[in-house]
């Protein structure tokens, strides 16, 4: 039996009925009345309850399926899923964004080592090839679910500890060391997951992943961090506001 909630449908409103129903269900999901894992009433019952046609109800449900809030499962019905993390394309950390959104981020530090900088890393961080860099590899979770696999390179003058990185975000660590991030160059792309990446992110083999490479600079214009991150495309997307000229 699906969750039974009462939604307000205003037939005198110029807003289409399907959109009103979709918005009402989305509000219930956002407010916790329909938590992840709960089942929605089937389309026949929803149509009968609100005196709507089945095509109207079907369109409302499809709207939320397309937004990644509902999923149709054969033999189960329509189910609420954990919503995507939507992140604006700004100079912020994933950890800070998750905290601000009311999520519960945790970090597993997979490895941390000091190594000589390769030519491409040295170029990004304005170092000489062979200079020491700190390489961090971390798995970020939200509500216990894997979300991102992050590899970061820092100049060797920084000294993060595993405990610090497990308890807070990298940008919080940099701020604690007096670093003020001012600008970053960032590239966003996509590729298929390799075997270990799919395992860590609990995705099927060769699942689609979003990629992000970012070089961040302090207020003196000095590169302080190079990040190469992988995000689950099934749980994550970037948002940007575009302004015409």
What pLDDT shows up at residue 148? 92
Once rounded to an integer, what is the mean pLDDT over residues 39-54?
88
Q: What confidence score (pLDDT) does residue 110 get?
A: 97
Q: What's the pLDDT at 224?
A: 94
Which 3 state secondary structure label does DSSP give 11?
coil
Summarize pLDDT for 62-100 with one digit per residue, the tens: 888 877 778 887 777 888 876 555 554 455 656 556 556
Domains and CATH numbers, the chain: 17-80 (1.10.10.10), 85-239 (3.40.1410.10)
> What is the predicted pLDDT for the residue at 27?
85
- For the chain, the average pLDDT equals 84
Q: What confidence score (pLDDT) does residue 245 get?
A: 55
Q: What percent of the chain lies above the pLDDT cut of 70?
A: 84
Q: What is the pLDDT of residue 100?
A: 62
pLDDT at 213: 92
pTM score, whole prediction:
0.61
Strand duo 105-116 + 223-232: pairing? unpaired
Helix (H, G, I), strand (E, B) or coil at 211: strand
Q: How far apart are CA 226 and CA 219, in angstroms?
A: 16
Q: What is the pLDDT of residue 243?
A: 54
1 three-state secondary structure: coil
Percentage of the chain with pLDDT > 90?
Answer: 39
Model confidence at 38, pLDDT cuts 50, 70, 90, reads: confident
Q: Are 112 and 133 in contact (CB under 8 A)?
A: no
Predicted confidence (pLDDT) per residue in 2-12, tens digit: 555 677 788 88
- Give the mean model confidence (pLDDT) for residues 185-189: 88
Region 105-111: mean pLDDT is 91
Those residues whose C-beta lies under 8 Å from the C-beta of residue 132, and which sit 6 or more positions away, are 114, 115, 116, 117, 155, 156
List pLDDT tens digits, range 109-168: 999 999 999 999 999 999 999 999 999 999 998 878 898 999 999 999 999 999 999 888
Burial 177-205 (b: 16+ CB within 10 A, else e): eebebeebeeeeeeeebeeebbebbebee
């Amino acid at each position: 039996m699906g969750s039974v909630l009462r939604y307000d449908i205003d037939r005198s409103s110029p807003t289409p009925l399907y959109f009103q129903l979709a918005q009402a269900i989305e509000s219930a999901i956002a407010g916790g009345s329909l938590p992840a894992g709960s089942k929605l009433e089937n389309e026949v019952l929803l149509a009968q309850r609100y005196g709507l046609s089945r095509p109207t109800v079907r369109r409302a449900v499809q709207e939320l399926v397309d937004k990644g809030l509902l999923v149709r499962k054969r033999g189960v019905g329509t189910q609420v899923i954990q919503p995507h993390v939507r992140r604006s394309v700004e100079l912020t950390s994933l950890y800070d964004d998750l905290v601000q959104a009311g999520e519960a981020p945790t970090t597993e530090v997979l490895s941390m080592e000091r190594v000589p900088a390769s030519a491409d890393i040295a170029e990004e961080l304005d170092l000489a090839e062979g200079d020491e860099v700190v390489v961090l590899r971390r798995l970020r979770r939200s509500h216990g679910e894997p979300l991102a696999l992050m590899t970061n390179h820092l100049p060797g003058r920084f000294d993060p500890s595993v405990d610090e990185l497990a308890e807070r975000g990298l940008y919080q660590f940099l701020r604690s060391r007096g670093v003020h991030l001012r600008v970053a160059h960032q590239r966003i792309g996509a590729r298929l997951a390799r075997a270990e990446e799919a395992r860590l992110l609990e995705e099927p083999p060769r699942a689609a992943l979003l990629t992000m490479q970012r070089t961040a600079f302090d207020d003196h214009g000095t590169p302080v961090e190079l990040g190469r991150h992988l995000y689950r495309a099934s749980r994550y997307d970037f948002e940007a506001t575009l302004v015409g000229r």
